[in-house]
Structure 1
Amino acid sequence: MKNIHHIRTVCLTVILSFSLVLSAAPCLFAEEAKPAVETAMPAAGPAKPAEEEKPAGDVTVAAMSQYLWRGYELSRNGIVVQPSITIGYKGFSANIWGNLDTKPYLAGTGDTGHSSAWNETDWTLWYTKNLGRFNLGFGYIYYALASLNRDAPDRADVQEIFATASLNTLLSPTFTVYKEISHYRNWYFLLGVSHTFEFSKMASLKVAASASYLLSTYADAALFNAGAGYGGYPKFDGSAQATDDRFRNFHDGNLTISLPVKATGNLTIAPSISYVFPLSNDAKYEMKGSGLKGVSTPDDRDSSFLYGGITMSFSF
């Protein structure tokens, strides 16, 4: 049995250490003054017109061993395929993302080998603005959710608004706040850091870590247990059973290592592996109670997960 308190302490210590490093970063990375060089001024000529900014985008396809979202296990025993298309222009961006489960499963029904199912489509619109060392953004996400398999109840769609801020410095710290505005009624706070080690112009190693806090503003155990997604985010007891109390605690941590390789100028292939774990006992019980994997008794389900896959991305 893993010591959840120890994991949470280690994760928070890492995040605080990152913050201390960041406070010293401006001194560490101050540019050295360049010597003045006298050169002859070129003859004045007609000014070149500014190059017009063009739309940019990418098409991505990921094949993963499991689908995990904010610590929740949404697939098991089968590959999930997740295509995505993003278009951006002058700070505005739009994305569509989907999930195809090649072997759907729902806890309690048994591993019956249902045929593949497209069970989620997400639409995201956002705007970002660079202000010196800061990047600020805000946006909207619509999660169109279907049943996890043909025998499961349909899930309620989700709508979120979010705001994000990141710092262009060591570890690229990013803080994002999500607010659910339809059925689930919660705030989700996410702090992430990452660093990329360049091996060559073609290959690099990226290490990322994140920690979250979930603040539920609504909980109904009876509706939650009905399985349609109208019960909010309840707190779970020590037997991993939903209660009418609201969840308010540190939630999930995530550690990811990926190896992006540029196959061509536009094509990148990135194998990755991730470890997801609860940051509190409340989160452990909730992730067990909401999970799919394991026997039908919630307390015997998993609360930490190791999964991986490969992502191919074509930029244009």
Structure 2
Amino acid sequence: MGGARRIWVVLGFVVFGLWLLAGGVRAEEAKPSADFTVDVLSQYVWRGFGLSDDSVVIQPSMTVSYLGAYVNLWGNYDTDEKGSDDANWNETDFTFGYTYDKLPYGMSLDVGGIYYALDGIDDSFELFAGLSATCPKTGINFGLTIYRELSHYPGTWYELSAGRDFGLPWYKATLSLSASAMYLDSDDKGAYPDPDDPNDEFSGWLYLQLGAEVSVPVGRYFTVTPKVYYSFSLSDDADDLIEDGSWDNHHDHFFGGVSVSFSF
């Protein structure tokens, strides 16, 4: 059995085992849920790197969940891809996982994997595990998620996040403010070299991203969400790394757009 296949088998058993532990909800009372979302954004930014340049990107997503287990299919369609001057579907991601929300102190555990099918470069596969909780006094949700790349571009990503939702007095809308910071400990000097020493891998705080979204329900099943983000590097070395890896050669990115979701 190949290494990649072993990973899928192990993750399958982990997710299935955690699903069996979800004893607080009986199967006959639970129903599967589904969400279909399309984002239209001014730029595709992934972990601080701008992966489009002067073009609108369209990012459809579908998530199905049941008893804490979920699968998601996501894609990126660049309407004017740099280097080709044509529209191109250049990425498809498959995410699977399980969320267990019965931990002490209101904490939740989220574990799973992400397979990145990429156009023109090697595909990528990550495992992730995250803990999150909401402070009962402030209503702020705090989280720590660790991603480990296994197949290509090996390295470990540590993400700290915080967010808070505010009810608005119009149309049952909700304002969501968020902040996330990423630390990269790379094992691949080819993909993420240390700008001070090309023979070494990058290790350090990479970027901070701030976000604001306003979710407006439309009827029972639809939600329209305008959104805006600002992402910027956190050190001089991160400046150089993000500039070299971004299609627009910038180390900071201001972008936004709107999403339309259909959930049931």
Which band: TM-score by shorter chain? 0.7 to 0.9
Say which of 163, 168, 171 aligns to 2:140.
171
Higher strand residue share: 2
Q: Tell me the CA shift for residue 218 of structure 1.
A: 2.4
Question: Would you say 1:123 and 2:55 are equivalent positions?
Answer: no
Q: Tell me the CA shift for residue 244 of structure 1.
A: 2.0
Instruction: Note the 1:93-112 alignment, pairs <5 A.
Output: 93-106=70-83
2:123 maps to 157
Instruction: Note the 1:75-224 alignment, pairs <5 A.
Output: 75-106=52-83, 114-130=85-101, 131-132=103-104, 133-146=106-119, 154-169=120-135, 170-200=139-169, 202-219=172-189
Q: Report which of the two structures shows the higher radius of gyration computed on alpha carbons.
A: 1
Distance 1:119 1:50, change over 3 A: closer
TM (norm. structure 1) is 0.71
Instruction: Note the 1:278-289 alignment, pairs <5 A.
Output: 278-289=233-244
Matched residue type, 2:238: A
Identity fraction in percent? 38
2:226 maps to 271
Given that 1:64 and 1:309 are in contact with CA atoms closer than 8 Å, whether structure 2 keeps it comes out as yes
Matched residue type, 2:160: L
Given that 1:159 and 1:180 are in contact with CA atoms closer than 8 Å, whether structure 2 keeps it comes out as yes
Q: Tell me the CA shift for residue 291 of structure 1.
A: 1.7
Say which of 248, 253, 256 aligns to 1:305.
253
SS at match of 2:141: coil
TM (norm. structure 2) is 0.85
2:194 maps to 235
Given that 1:183 and 1:232 are in contact with CA atoms closer than 8 Å, whether structure 2 keeps it comes out as no
Q: Tell me the CA shift for residue 77 of structure 1.
A: 1.0
Q: Tell me the CA shift for residue 168 of structure 1.
A: 2.6
Matched residue type, 1:161: L
Distance 2:109 2:146 in 1: 12
Q: Tell me the CA shift for residue 252 of structure 1.
A: 1.0
Q: Tell me the CA shift for residue 208 of structure 1.
A: 0.3
SS at match of 1:259: strand
Matched residue type, 1:140: G
Matched residue type, 1:53: A
Q: Tell me the CA shift for residue 93 of structure 1.
A: 0.2
Matched residue type, 2:148: K
Distance 2:188 2:59 in 1: 31
Matched residue type, 2:182: S
Instruction: Note the 1:225-264 alignment, pairs <5 A.
Output: 231-237=190-196, 243-264=198-219
Q: What's the C-alpha RMSD, in Å, of the aligned pairs?
A: 1.6
Q: How many residues were matched structurally?
A: 233
Distance 1:75 1:52, change over 3 A: same
1:52 maps to 29
1:5 maps to none
Distance 1:272 1:140 in 2: 26
Structure 2: stretches of 5+ with no match in the other structure? 1-25
